[in-house]
Chain A
Amino acid sequence: MSKGKILVIDDEDIVLMSCHRALTPEGYDVKTAKSGVEGLKMLENELFHVALIDVKMPDMDGMEVLKKIKERWPDVVVIIITGYSAIASAVSSIKLGAFDYIEKPFTPDGIMSVIKKAISQKV
């Protein structure tokens, strides 16, 4: 029984791989998408508890994806991954409905604690 279903959306493979490798052993069901469009498609077909979304992506940026998810699946907990250690972008993402944000580069423990908080809030 998985602890929760997590969707990671990032254009960088290494970030997707890192999240997958960090979270899977802890009992989470991790799926990845390489773009916002792909991620939204997956959300239409499957139910996810948490979505980890990179802010900066080529076709559709993280804020856009966040807005769309909040419109259609308000129950999905969104965590923003940001490369900018910017309070401003973090604040604006939270205003848009994100649960929290995490800065790159993150450690397995770091992402775990954020996910744990998110799931517990959900439950």
Chain B
Amino acid sequence: MKKKTILVLTVMILSSLFLFAQGGSEERLTEDGRQIVTYWYYHKGNEATIQENAIARFNASQDEYFVEGFSVPDKQKYLVAMASDESPDVIALTNAEVISYQTNGLLEDMSTMGEANGFDFSIYDKPAVTANSVDGRMYAYPLTSVVIQMFYNKDLLASIGETEPPTTMEELFEMAEKATTLDADGNIDILGYPLFPLASARQELIYAFGGRWAAEDGVTPTANCEGNIKSLEMNMAFREKYGVEKVQRFVATGNTNRYTPQDIFFAGKQLFRFDGPWFANNIKQYNPDINFGVAMVPGTEADPELLGVSRYENTSLAIPVVAKEKDGAYAFISWFVTEGAKDFLLEIGSLPANNTLYDDPDLLASNEAFPSFMEALKTGNGIEAPRMDYSAEYISMVDEYLDYIYNGTMGIEDALNELQAQAEAMAD
């Protein structure tokens, strides 16, 4: 091949690679000169439309920035984009992801940015701050909250001679035993104890007994603490009474049919259900005839102040460290979690993270479960997920060991001690 041909080809390839590499670095402006800020959210379908509505409201209020929203349900793309110099300026993610991302140093320090811009941090209660903080610094501003409370079937409750929902786990257990019925084959027909959804078995059922997977500092594992053992003893007492496999079969069916017309609660086969505020809308959609009530998750006789205890989670907004338009990103986020929050929450039907909205009459009227859920938020009994740098692996291990316990493969204390030892080894 002639040297000249080789030279031309080489120059062409190198030029195209150079241009490709340079592609992401240019400043982007709208025709009217506004700085373009890119915002990636994981919502899709109707929720993506609601995100776009919020973005439109922000853009209408602005002459400096213009936000372009993108629905990116696959969050791996967040990481790939951040690694390839094509990072969005704002990302929506869960508070657990905030911790996971920041333990790898991927996010901007929002405490510092907020202090520099005079942000009023008092709009957030302690759980909201802690859930989005690493080493005492916030790396995202939470927009929505998720807490779980107790739905109950009033007719089933009446059938066992009760009129009021339980306020302690001991009362709940007693009612659950009375309400649980079996069919002719000995299979569970109505489930009294709230063993389903599965996530509650790791969280609310544990927290209600004062159990925790991490200490107050969020990073010290406490897998074998007394509260965890007490809770699991009660859970296992129920499972063993009706047969571990029978309970598991019922739970499996509940899980496969969750939020469908065959959901065990909608079918009138579940007395107590720990679920989110959206569940009230699901009931109306699938079986409006279900006579249900909402109450706070019970505490225990020993710790009645645990009433309303629940996991505390957020959808939060963060700025990747590799974002290019950080000022615009901050302007959008600080608007979204304050002025822009209420309209968004009304549309999407979520609870606020911003405590100034807890008593908002429009929000309270928007969902019949909200008053109980807002009361739960006010108790401050929200429990944030563990925040150690190996928390994703730790939670996965917790779930695995809960399986060993619930399936009867391991005893409660043996399993929790082994889990604790493994967590401590990971910490080292």
A interacts with B? no
Residues of chain A touching chain B, judged by Cβ–Cβ distance below 8 Å, are none
Q: Which residues of B contact A (CB under 8 A)?
A: none
